[in-house]
């Protein structure tokens, strides 16, 4: 579904992402891990089309996407969350989530000024869909609260609801467990699995090992911008190179 081929991103002399290739198959949960400075966030921003590639290609359904604008990737079926939560100020939770369904609507600027019946029906459908997403995440009772006033964990949930409102095909999660406690992280893991069962492909960049090892089908390990390993979680846990970069070369894995 998503293919990265020899993706490079250089900032001046710094090779933030250097010759990374991998694929994400439809219906799979893929994780990208690596120590601080490994290039995870840069890679994430490249896939989300937020920053241009230095070289290489990214394909989605066999179509090159690296030159698209972020809003165009949303139209293709991408949805994402942000590491440092970006909810919309001055909006209720429900309205925030309704923005997520933006690419599902058609009504233009003038239609918005004149509430024509067709436009009203579309608004009602967007509202319904957004409420469903809030219910799915168990925060329907917060629909009318100002989004900014929520607790951190709830804001994370609103971001996820906003991403789901787009009915995405590929869900990009940028460190979704950052700032969550272990219970919330476990709950998040269950949610992500349920989302995948609904046919959504998931790519997550994450620090939290327990989450990644628990839910991912496959893991890519980055180190200093390069791909160090790509495998299923159980084998990544016993990969000597991975252990070396995370824990130091002298570490003896427990038997």
Partner 1 sequence: MLGQIRTRLGAVVASVVLLQLLTTFTGTEYYLTQLTMSAYYGLLVIGLCALMGYAGQISIGHAGFFAIGGYLSALLTTYNLTPHAENSAIALLNQAGLLFTWENLYGESLLTFTPWAAALAALVCAALVALLVGIPVLKLRGHYLAMATLGFGTIIYRMALALPILGEADGIADVPGFILIPASLFGGEALMISGEGDFRIFNYYVAWAVVLAGLVLLMNLMTRSRSGRALRALHSSEEAAEACGVNTSRAKLQVFVLSAVYAALAGVLLTHFKGGIGPEEATVMKSVRYVALVAVGGMTSLWGTLFMGVGLSFLSLRGVFGSYDDAVFGLILLAVMLFAPGGLSQLNSHIPWRRLLPYRRA
Q: Is 166 in the site for partner 1 (CB under 8 A)?
A: yes
188 close to 199: Cβ distance less than 8 angstroms: no
With tokens 């990374």, the residue in question is 20
Q: Is 241 in the site for partner 1 (CB under 8 A)?
A: no
Whole-number Å distance between alpha carbons of 88 and 186: 27
- Among positions 103-162, residues that touch partner 1 (CB under 8 A) are 103, 105, 107-109, 111-115, 119, 122-123, 126, 162
Sheet holding 226-231, edge to edge: 78-80, 170-174, 201-205, 29-33, 218-223, 226-231
Kind of pairing, strands 63-64 and 78-80? unpaired
User: Would you say 5 or 88 has its CB closer to partner 1?
Assistant: 88
Using CB under 8 A, which of the segments 95-103, 131-139, 233-241, 244-252 binds partner 1? 95-103
Q: How many residues bind partner 1 (CB under 8 A)?
A: 39
Buried b (16+ CB within 10 A) or exposed e, 136-145: bbebeebbee
User: Would you say 84 or 234 has its CB closer to partner 1?
Assistant: 84
Whole-number Å distance between alpha carbons of 218 and 246: 18
Residue of the chain from 79, 161, 204, 221 that contacts partner 1 (CB under 8 A): 79
CB of 51 to partner 1, least distance (A): 11
Residue of the chain from 25, 26, 50, 61 that contacts partner 1 (CB under 8 A): 50
Structure tokens at 182: 């272990």
Structure tokens at 156: 């994370």
With tokens 């608004």, the residue in question is 123
Using CB under 8 A, which of the segments 12-20, 31-39, 96-104, 149-157 binds partner 1? 96-104
Residues in contact with partner 1 by CB under 8 A are: 48, 50, 69-71, 74-75, 78-80, 82, 86-91, 95-96, 98-100, 102-103, 105, 107-109, 111-115, 119, 122-123, 126, 162, 166
């Amino acid at each position: 579904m998503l293919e990265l081929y020899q993706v490079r991103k250089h900032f001046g002399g710094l090779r933030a992402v250097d010759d990374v290739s991998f694929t994400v198959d439809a219906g799979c949960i893929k994780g990208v891990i690596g120590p601080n400075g490994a290039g995870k966030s840069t890679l994430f921003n490249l896939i989300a089309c937020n920053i241009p590639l230095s070289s290489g290609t990214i394909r989605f359904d066999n179509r090159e996407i690296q030159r698209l604008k972020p809003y165009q990737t949303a139209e293709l079926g991408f949805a994402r969350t942000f590491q440092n939560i970006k909810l919309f100020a001055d909006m209720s939770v429900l309205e925030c989530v309704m923005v997520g369904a933006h690419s599902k609507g058609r009504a233009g600027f003038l239609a918005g000024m004149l509430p024509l019946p067709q436009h009203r029906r579309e608004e009602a459908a967007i509202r319904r869909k957004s409420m469903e997403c809030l219910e799915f995440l168990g925060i329907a009772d917060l629909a009318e609260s100002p989004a900014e006033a929520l607790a951190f964990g709830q804001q994370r949930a609103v971001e996820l609801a906003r991403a789901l409102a787009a009915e995405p095909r590929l869900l990009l999660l940028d460190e979704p467990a950052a700032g969550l406690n272990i219970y919330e992280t476990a709950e998040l893991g269950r949610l992500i699995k349920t989302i995948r069962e609904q046919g959504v492909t998931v790519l997550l960049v994450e620090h939290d090992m327990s989450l990644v090892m628990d839910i991912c089908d496959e893991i890519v390990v980055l180190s200093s911008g390069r791909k160090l390993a790509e495998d299923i979680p159980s084998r990544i846990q016993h990969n000597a190179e991975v252990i070396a970069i995370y824990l130091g070369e002298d570490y003896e894995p427990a038997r």
